[in-house]
Amino acid sequence: MHRRRYLTLAGAGVVGGLAGCGGSGGSGGTSGGRSIDDHPAAADLEEQPRQGDLGGNVVLAFEDPSCTQCRRFHENTVPDIEDGIVDAGEGAYVVRTYPIIYPWGKPATQALESTVARSEGAFWALFDHYFAEQDQFDEGNVLDRTEQFLSASTDLDGSVVVEDARTEAHDDAVQADIAAAEAADLPKQTPIVLLFRDGEFVTRANGSVSYDLIAEALGVS
Amino acid sequence: MGAVGRSLRGVRLPTRPRDWQLMGRTARLVLALPTYAVVAALASVASLTAFVVSLNVPVFLDLVVGGPLPLGSRLTVFGELYPFVGTNFTPAQGLLLVAVALLTGIDIAMATYHFREHGLDLQQGGAGAAGVVLGTLGAGCAACGSAVLLGLLSLVGVSTTLLFLPLDGLEFALGAVVVLTLSIYWLADGMRGGEINGCPVDI
């Protein structure tokens, strides 16, 4: 009796644990080989902020500026993507915002979309700034600090951008990214990195995965 | 107070130094048996592997198991899923995951020994299973996989604001360490007065 109880409990624990993480990490393979043109996560890809040229390999990352894992991905992996893929002419790094972690990520995302509508260079500067100063932001100060940064460090008028963010003037772009994630059945976690090799979907990686993993998947050095 | 500390509704807790000595001695005696040392090692590796793979099932299936990559690339991708090799975990998260995996291995080896030699009771089995669940939740949440916790908490109506944990979810991995430690203590306590490989368990 005791043995049976133990095995039942242990089995339930393992199954429950794996089921929980399956929900987090996905429930199975992701049907590699699908064309990037048909992949819902890549809808309107040309309109998204990117580094590098489309047409070859694509690293498509769904990121939340408030997510600590995204910050680590940005610090540890993105510089190598820029060196090994973007600058080497092997493909493009594309970002879609996915504000699901902390509340300040939502107004920050509105500000990012209002920024990229005016200047892609300013978008990347602001995106970097959010990660570099991530600990300093909260829901109450994020737009004020955003305005200060944009006015001081870019050619944009921060007050105009932030006013757009407050009124959610570019909410269509925010919602398009969320809709793309939902249409692709992505889990609610960030970062999520979708890899396309020569225009064909390879896999989806969850978390702050390494450049070596991405490079092996895409066949680049 | 001592009586209160040592007994919470009849549950024994490792509150005295000699309780920890008992745990250490019992674990050492069990792991000194080659069979159970192998069981512990395999269980530790398996639990860590199950955990890191469960966070990236698509990568595992598409690149490690399936897909056209050569063997060397598959092994590289597989290795990159682990803490301290890849970049998916901070050093603190990696240490905690390895600690949970090691404790899981010790716990399973001791439980297997106890199961084979003496049978096992509900409290001990339940604690071990709870440790596995907490360990899985912990790293999942630490990887911003808040959906796991959200789903579980929503089942019991808990506010999602609880997701904003100061340690980014490492609280659950710490919880797993506590539960596994308790499980090991209860297993050791259950073996008190006996012998392992001819050596008395009691300190």
Ramachandran angles phi, psi of B180, nearest 5°: -65, -40
- Higher confidence at residue A107 or residue B112? A107
Query: What does the pLDDT look like over A110-157, one tens digit per residue?
Result: 999 999 999 999 999 999 999 999 999 999 999 999 999 999 999 999
Please say if the pLDDT value at position A196 is more than 60.
yes
The whole-angstrom separation of Cα A58 and Cα A50 is 10
- Higher confidence at residue A87 or residue B160? A87
Please say if the pLDDT value at position A20 is more than 50.
no
Contact B147 A68 (CB under 8 A): no
Torsion of CA B33, B15, B182, B30, to 10 degrees: 0
Q: B155 vs A12, A13, B151, B158, B159, CA distance in Å?
A: 17, 17, 7, 8, 11
Mean pLDDT of chain B: 75
* Amino acid sitting at position B114: H
CA-nearest of A5, A123, A21, A133 to A66 is A133
Nearest to A203 among B62, B86, B131 (CB): B62
Please say if the pLDDT value at position A31 is more than 80.
no
* Amino acid sitting at position A185: D
Query: What does the pLDDT look like over B47-69, one tens digit per residue?
Result: 899 888 888 999 999 999 999 99
Mean pLDDT of chain A: 87
Task: Identify the pLDDT of residue A135.
Answer: 93
Closest residue in B to A32 (Cα–Cα): B62
Q: Identify the residue among A6, A7, A27, A182 best suited for mutation to test binding to B, counting B beta carbons within 10 A and taking the highest.
A: A6
CA-nearest of B185, B197, B199, B20 to B106 is B185
- Higher confidence at residue B134 or residue A126? A126
* Residues facing A63 on adjacent strands: A97
The ipTM estimated for the assembled molecules is 0.84
Chain A, window 35-94: residues with a beta carbon less than 8 angstroms from a chain B beta carbon: 64, 67-70, 72-73, 76-77
Task: Identify the pLDDT of residue B188.
Answer: 82
Task: Identify the pLDDT of residue A9.
Answer: 38
Please say if the pLDDT value at position B113 is more than 80.
yes
Q: Which residues from A are below 8 Å from B148, CB to CB? A: 20-21, 23-24
pTM (predicted TM-score) = 0.79
pLDDT band at B14 (very low <50, low <70, confident <90, very high): confident
